[in-house]
């Protein structure tokens, strides 16, 4: 570079705006942005805390709801297991108590059907001096909600009567729909596929 070029360059550099005011303006803008951020930060923190509280509340509610459904399923399963034994156990010497227990543990469609057929069933059991004793081998919850649970049961029923004095075992699979009525789990539907 020649001397003349160096001199021209120095003249050009001195005619430009000095760098210090530009730097000062940037510092001022940065400070203003930081001040705005400091004013907004408490609001953002509050929003974050509220969002976390809502999430914790929803997750807690879902957890409790799941526990309630599981508890309902287990309570209905116990009631269905006991009821299956009641339903499959009969003694002609104690028919009134047997029929009363079956009706006491039922509701809705099943109660109506059992009530209509009980007179004919009663006479058939008396005529053949039938006895039966049910045992639930396995049971499980198929589906559950807070007030209705479907239960699967595998039941063996030992049966004897005048035509068949030697007891035989009937293997049954029962699908029982239990409904919670006034705090009690009652059989609303009984299917033997």
Instruction: Note if the pTM is more than 0.95.
Output: no
**Which tops the pLDDT comparison, 105 or 10?**
105
pLDDT tens column, 156-176: 999 999 888 888 999 999 999
Domains of the chain, first to last: 51-191 (3.10.450.50)
- Which pLDDT value is given to residue 9? 58
Q: Which of 192, 75, 81 is nearest to 136 (CA)?
A: 81
CA-derived radius of gyration, the chain: 40
- Which pLDDT value is given to residue 155? 97
Section 60-84 average pLDDT: 95
**Which tops the pLDDT comparison, 164 or 107?**
107
């Amino acid at each position: 570079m020649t001397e003349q070029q160096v001199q021209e360059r120095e003249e050009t550099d001195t005619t430009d705006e000095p760098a210090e005011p530009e730097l000062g303006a940037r510092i001022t803008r940065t400070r203003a942005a930081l001040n705005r951020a400091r004013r907004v930060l408490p609001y953002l923190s509050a929003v974050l805390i509220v969002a976390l509280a809502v999430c914790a509340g929803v997750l807690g509610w879902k957890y409790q709801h799941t526990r309630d459904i599981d508890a309902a399923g287990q309570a209905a399963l116990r009631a269905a297991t006991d009821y299956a034994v009641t339903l499959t156990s009969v003694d002609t010497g104690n028919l009134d108590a047997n029929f009363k227990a079956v009706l006491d543990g039922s509701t809705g469609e099943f109660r109506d059907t059992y009530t209509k057929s009980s007179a004919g069933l009663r006479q058939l059991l008396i005529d053949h001096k039938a006895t039966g004793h049910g045992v639930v081998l396995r049971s499980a919850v198929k589906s559950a909600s807070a007030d209705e649970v479907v239960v699967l049961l595998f039941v063996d029923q030992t049966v004897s009567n005048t035509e068949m004095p030697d007891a035989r075992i009937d293997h049954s699979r029962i699908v029982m729909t239990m409904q919670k009525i006034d705090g009690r789990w009652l059989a609303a539907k009984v299917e033997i596929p």
